[in-house]
Amino acid sequence: MKKNVYVLYGGISAEHEVSIRSGKTIIQYLDRNKYDVHPIYINKKGVWHPLGITGPDIQEEDLVKSSDLSIADSIAAFLHTDYDSSLENVFFSVLHGTGGEDGTMQGFLKTLNVPFTGNSVLSSAVTMDKGITNRLLKANDISQAKFIVLDRWSLDSIEDIDTKEIIEKLGLPVYVKPCNAGSSVGITHVKKEEEFKEAFELAFKYDPRILLEEEVLGVEVELTVVGNKEIKASIPGSYMSQDQFLDYDDKYNNPNQIAEIPYPKDEETQNKLKKLAVKAYKACSCMGFARVDIFIRKGDGALLVNEINTLPGMTTISLAQRLWEQAYGLDYPAFIDMLIELAEEAHRERNSLVVDRS
């Protein structure tokens, strides 16, 4: 009997479109000899649209549906008609950002007691928040840019923020980011003191907590880290044009972005990066897989962790799988199989834990 793999894509976040592309890629590469593949499109309002069992060649326009159901009714209908808990099921979510990468979907799937790929409730929630992540990395002596976290609720007004003090601590330019956003949404590269106010207003639209960081000049590299108990990092890679702030369009809509794999070329730095990526992954209790982004600072070559993405892009131009393939020779279907095996291992572990006093 084949396993049922439910692929969740779309979702309520600003990364809805890229999630559809990630979903299409996973649906295309899941091995039909092993799995019955059930795409589930989640629209921007959070409504579930199960497509039933599909083949690998489904077109992007057929992956998007609409209906008038409420979220609750759509999930109830799915559980009632498309899902059988007595079968072997796995959920493969490629919902990036809010509602998918922040632990909420993981909590729902955990409640259903079904295996799901990727990170746990805890590691998803922790790494979704750039402020909490930075504090956790700091507590584990992991090097990163100097930073300040500001909380909207402890300020009477944005005017109260002491920008002189910020400049004293972080210098200029400063990156102002909402703690919880992704894909460069709500981020401003502040070059002059006068630009802070607008940057704060923008970032606070997305989250009542914001992160201010000193600018790191250098190159940002990415590593894929995989595992639950035994954890390994891929080789590092980088986008050629990455000495500048990449906005949403650069990241997802620019087909001319060329990845250099591996980057950097020298093995000593590659090994240091791998160690650092694994340390950061473990510090945040990550599971399944994640992409760890690290700056190599120009001048002194310092390695500074930027962030951990627990549900990185999975399109064919995304680096996550390509880095792994070049490091360990696993093609896309084998990479997906590995993530499903890790999901099942994590599920078995969860179910072996004692939760009551008997």
Ligand X SMILES: Nc1ncnc2c1ncn2[C@@H]1O[C@H](COP(=O)(O)OP(=O)(O)O)[C@@H](O)[C@H]1O
Q: Which is nearer to ligand X, 185 or 336 (CB)?
A: 185
Considering only 28-36, 193-201, 212-220, 277-285, which stretch makes contact with ligand X by CB under 6 A? Answer: 212-220
For 86, counting Cβ atoms within 10 Å of its Cβ (0-12 exposed, 13-18 middle, 19+ buried), the class is exposed
When asked if residue 215 is in the footprint of ligand X (CB under 6 A), the reply is yes
> How many residues would you count in the chain?
358
**Residue type at 93?**
S
Q: Give dist(CA 206, CA 184) in Å, integer.
A: 12
- The nearest distance, CB 187 to ligand X, in angstroms, is 6
Considering only 51-59, 114-122, 208-216, 258-266, which stretch makes contact with ligand X by CB under 6 A? Answer: 208-216
Other CB atoms within 10 A of residue 90 CB: 21
Q: Which residues pair with 40 in a beta bridge?
A: 8, 50
Q: Backbone dihedral region of 206: left (phi > 0), alpha (psi from -120 to 50 degrees) or beta?
A: alpha
Q: What sign does the CA torsion over 201, 206, 207, 209 have?
A: negative
Q: What are phi and psi of 267, to 5 degrees?
A: -70, -30
When asked if residue 213 is in the footprint of ligand X (CB under 6 A), the reply is yes
- The nearest distance, CB 185 to ligand X, in angstroms, is 6
- The nearest distance, CB 218 to ligand X, in angstroms, is 8
Site string for ligand X, 222-241 (x = CB under 6 A): --------------------
Residues from 22 through 81 that contact ligand X (CB under 6 A): none
Residues from 139 through 178 that contact ligand X (CB under 6 A): 145, 175, 177
Q: What sign does the CA torsion over 110, 115, 119, 120 have?
A: positive
User: Using the rule CB under 6 A, which residue among 7, 27, 109, 216 binds ligand X?
Assistant: 216
- The nearest distance, CB 144 to ligand X, in angstroms, is 9
# binding residues, ligand X (CB under 6 A): 16
Considering only 25-33, 121-129, 180-188, 269-277, which stretch makes contact with ligand X by CB under 6 A? Answer: 180-188
**Residue type at 147?**
F
In angstroms and rounded to an integer, the radius of gyration of the C-alpha atoms of the chain is 21
- Chain residues that interact with ligand X, rule: CB under 6 A: 145, 175, 177, 182-184, 187, 213, 215-216, 220, 245-246, 293, 306-307
